[in-house]
Amino acid sequence: MYREQFDRWPQCKDNYDALLKAERRTIVMGDLPVMVQCNPARARSTEAKVDAASIAERPCFLCAKNRPKEQLAGQAIPDFEILINPYPILPVHFTVVSKEHQRQDAMPLEMVNFVDMTPQAVAFFNGAKAGASAPDHLHFQAVLKEELPLLSAVERLHRYSDGTVKLSTELGDFPMSFLSVIIPLSFEGMLMLAELPKFGGLPDGPEANPRDFVNTLVWMDNGDPEGDDSPKMRALVIPRRRHRPDCYFAQGEDKLAVSPGALDMAGLIVTPRREDFDRITAGDIAEIYRQTGLSAAELPEWYEGYPDFIKYTGR
Please report, as ranges, the residues that interact with Zn ion according to CB under 5 A. 60, 62-63, 101, 137
Residue type at position 11: Q
Q: Please, which residue, 125 or 277, has the CB nearer to Zn ion?
A: 125
CB of 66 to Zn ion, least distance (A): 7
CB of 60 to Zn ion, least distance (A): 3
As a whole number of angstroms, the distance between CA 273 and CA 253 comes to 13
Q: Considering the complex, what minimum distance in angstroms separates the CB of residue 32 from Zn ion? A: 35
Give me the residue whose beta carbon is nearest to Zn ion.
Answer: 60
Half-sphere exposure of 232 (CA within 13 A, CB side): 26
CA 248 to chain CA centroid, Å, is 19
Query: Which of 127/203 has CB closer to Zn ion?
Result: 127
- Residue 43 vs 60, nearer CB to Zn ion: 60
CB of 50 to Zn ion, least distance (A): 14
Q: Is 10 exposed, middle or buried (0-12, 13-18, 19+ CB in 10 A)?
A: exposed
Strand, coil or helix: 236: strand
Burial-class residue 49 by CB neighbours within 10 Å (0-12, 13-18, 19+): exposed
**Would you put residue 267 in left (φ > 0), alpha (ψ -120 to 50) or beta?**
left
Closer Cβ to Zn ion, 62 or 132, answer by number? 62
When the beta carbons of 58 and 156 are compared against Zn ion, the nearer one is 58
| Least distance from Zn ion to the Cβ atom of residue 81, Å | 11
